[in-house]
Amino acid sequence: MTARGRSAVPVAIGVLLVGIFALDLFFPLGVAAGVPYVSVALLALWLESRRIRLGVVLLACVLTVTGFFLPIPPRGETFWIGLENRVIALFAIGVTAYLGHLLLKRSSEVREREARLRAVLESAPDAILTVDRNGFVESCNPAAGAMFGRRCESLVEMPIDRLLPEFPGDVKASSRCRALTGRRLDGSEFPAEVSLGRFPRDAELRSIDYAVIVRDVTLLRDAQQRTLRSERLAAVGETLAVLSHEARNELLALRMGLTVLAESADRLDADSADLIDELQTSQRRLSRLFEDVRQHAGPIRLNPTPCRLSDVWRRAWKACDRSDRGAELVEFPLPGGEPPTCTADVFRLEQVFRNLFENALAACPDPVRIEVRTEPYGSPDDPALRICVQDNGPGLSPEARRKAFEPFFTTKSDGTGLGLAICSRILEAHGGELTLLESGGQGACFELLLPRSGASRSGVLRELAEA
């Protein structure tokens, strides 16, 4: 009932009390004249105050008794008949008031239970939908709209197989958890765990609805894959530690022997000198491979300190072997000229920038132009930096883009294929992310997302960092 309707209830009760009492006086011998007061007890149920409702019921009882004795009390047999009916009227008023009180109490409990259930549904992170026996969505919670990329209201009366193409036509089990595929509004799909349950609308099971709980397990599967990858890398690291220990002495002896031979190259013919040079090159490659695999497989321990990123990438640029090439590093500062600062491991970030710069120098023809753009990213409560490193080279082929971060994949003749994989792990250890962006054929463009505080950011990047 609206507020205006509630305000009219006391007026209606007053009019009824006066009207019924007047009729009771006009028909003093009416044996059922007290029964109409039951309507007053029913109307009092709309009053919010329990005390006022009780007062109205007591007033109706008092008027029932008073109307019996006014204006002239009945006598003889009429008295006892009228008294009996007045007692019945009082009983009817009392029972009506008591049952109405129980009804209001139960209704209040139901409303409170519904409010709690609604709060649970609205705050649940998983999508919760009810589906009728014909496969159409009847209701859903806000998480369902967010998960499927639609407004929650637009999901109602939609076929469930548009959201879950693999949804079973019949659900015989009362509760099952299945691995299905969800489909969003834009057509993209995601892995999902779906719990199915059924509940009858009536005792005869003529109409059955289904409760469907959908959980997006994309992050969980990514975390599982990264955990499995970390376990494999840990095993590789343990094996490599043993191999490195055994091979280091052999490599050292090989390097010393080749150095001695190289110093006496004037006594050797040209073929022998070329062979020694090739052996030294192979020895350096083997040593670099051992070092890169060790860094990739071993845990990354950070020593974060406040730093200015522009100083970091300038040192990395200075350390690159440009061999008097026409190479240019172009910097685009933050809006307003603010220096790009954050808390990070300077040595590790310099390693990342140097790897990106050296890859660009190796891929680009002269003159080489490498651009570094920086812009703010994230929210004020969780600030981060977005750094884009782009070159003017030919770009990467589709296969190279797909395998860019895979270990041991390389397009360079003397590369180990671990540089970008190590850089990606360094960014993840900082709570950030390294990705390869579409550059429209204008060279390669790498994006670095780096939290300013040094702590792992929320959402996907937090999950990646924890994995």
pLDDT, position 6: 64
E strand or H helix at 88, and its extent? helix 77-123
**51-63: average pLDDT:** 86
Question: How far is the CA of 241 from the CAs of 108, 120, 132, 244, in angstroms?
Answer: 69, 52, 60, 5
Confidence tier at 7 by pLDDT (50, 70, 90) = confident
- Alpha-carbon distance 36 to 17, whole Å? 9
3-state secondary structure of 22: helix
Task: Give me the sign of the Cα torsion angle 50, 56, 62, 68.
Answer: negative
**326-342: average pLDDT:** 87
- Of the listed ranges 26-35, 192-201, 216-225, 433-442, the least confidently predicted one is 26-35
- Of the listed ranges 157-171, 345-359, 390-404, the least confidently predicted one is 157-171
Confidence tier at 228 by pLDDT (50, 70, 90) = confident
Helices (H), 44-76: 50-69
What pTM does this model have?
0.46
* For the chain, the helix, strand and coil percentages under 3-state DSSP, each to the nearest 5: 55, 20, 30
E strand or H helix at 164, and its extent? none
Classify residue 30 as left (phi > 0), alpha (psi -120 to 50) or beta.
beta
Give percent above pLDDT 70 in the chain: 74
Mean pLDDT of the chain: 79
Confidence tier at 223 by pLDDT (50, 70, 90) = confident
Nearest 5°: phi and psi at 215? Answer: -120, 125
3-state secondary structure of 203: coil
**26-36: average pLDDT:** 64
Q: Where are the domains of the chain?
A: 3-122, 124-216, 229-297, 305-466
Tell me the pLDDT tens digit for each residue of 261-303.
666 656 666 666 676 777 766 666 666 666 666 666 666 778 8
Tell me the pLDDT tens digit for each residue of 161-177.
888 888 776 554 445 67
Confidence tier at 457 by pLDDT (50, 70, 90) = very low
Instruction: Give yes or no for a contact between 16 and 43, defined as CB atoms under 8 angstroms apart.
Output: yes
- Alpha-carbon distance 66 to 388, whole Å? 91
Give the strands of the sheet with 327-332, arranged side by side.
327-332, 368-379, 382-391, 445-451, 433-437
Nearest CA to 375 out of 313, 308, 449, 315 is that of 449
**429-442: average pLDDT:** 84
Nearest CA to 467 out of 431, 414, 418, 416 is that of 431
124-216: CATH number? 3.30.450.20
- Alpha-carbon distance 170 to 210, whole Å? 10
Tell me the pLDDT tens digit for each residue of 311-330.
999 999 988 877 677 788 99
305-466: CATH number? 3.30.565.10
- Of the listed ranges 124-138, 149-163, 183-197, 271-285, the least confidently predicted one is 271-285
**Residue 216 scores a pLDDT above 50:** yes
pLDDT, position 86: 80
**77-90: average pLDDT:** 76
Nearest CA to 6 out of 34, 48, 39 is that of 48
For residue 119, count CB atoms less than 10 angstroms from its CB and return exposed for 0-12, middle for 13-18, buried for 19 or more: exposed
pLDDT, position 80: 75
Cα within 13 Å of Cα(278), Cβ side: 6
